[in-house]
Amino acid sequence: MSAASRIRPFRPGDEPALAEICLRTADGGGDATGIFEDDAIWAHIWVLPYVERHPDLAFVVEDEDGTVTGYVVATPDTDAFERWFHDEWWPRHAHRWPKPEREVTRQGGTLLYAYSRGEKPERYAEEFPAHLHIDLLPQAQGKGAGRRLIETLFHALRERGVSGLHLVASAGNTGAMAFYTRLGLAPLPSSPGSRAYGVKL
């Protein structure tokens, strides 16, 4: 990581930059622009609810000119977060994207996932109660920024007394899987098309 780049806590006003990073890394680590009819769907599922609910567990990397080029966001209690997403967050935004009747398109499948969040306990939450999402633009990758973001988050979670954390990545995102393994996260039983990892804190 460049000496001029730095990790800092999330602050209000970062949301547009985080939404853009989410979009540009959402397709298995690649740019998802134009895959959905509305590019805003990605961030409203995978980053913006986290910085609203747990702004103190969100950290960004910014380059020498102050441009945000990556982030990590998390919740310390996955089941509580998913219930909040279901009961409070998604109802405020769902009018923009009506629930599809069936999963025909990738967008339809993603929206059905959003509508179903919080309806049942999460698979890994009992043993690994926290979960995270991390994304970095290509220019921020391979420089140690991802490791520093994760380490910063782990420190914050340990201070809260959180016992473990999990994450789920696309099975096609091989670079991310290698990264998680290097950081000491262990593979967990996973659903087809995805790879889950967990770590005790």
Which CATH code fits 6-200?
A: 3.40.630.30
Please, are residues 5 and 59 in contact by the beta-carbon 8 Å criterion? no
Please, are residues 62 and 9 in contact by the beta-carbon 8 Å criterion? no
* Domain extents in the chain: 6-200
What does the alpha-carbon distance between residue 145 and residue 77 come to, in Å, rounded to a whole number?
25
What does the alpha-carbon distance between residue 86 and residue 156 come to, in Å, rounded to a whole number?
25
Q: What is the pLDDT along the chain (201 residues), one digit of tens a residue?
A: 445 689 999 999 999 999 999 999 999 889 999 999 999 999 999 999 999 999 999 999 999 999 999 999 999 999 999 999 999 999 999 999 999 988 789 999 999 999 999 999 999 999 999 999 999 999 999 889 999 999 999 999 999 999 999 999 888 887 888 889 888 899 999 888 889 999 999
Please state the pTM of the whole predicted model.
0.93
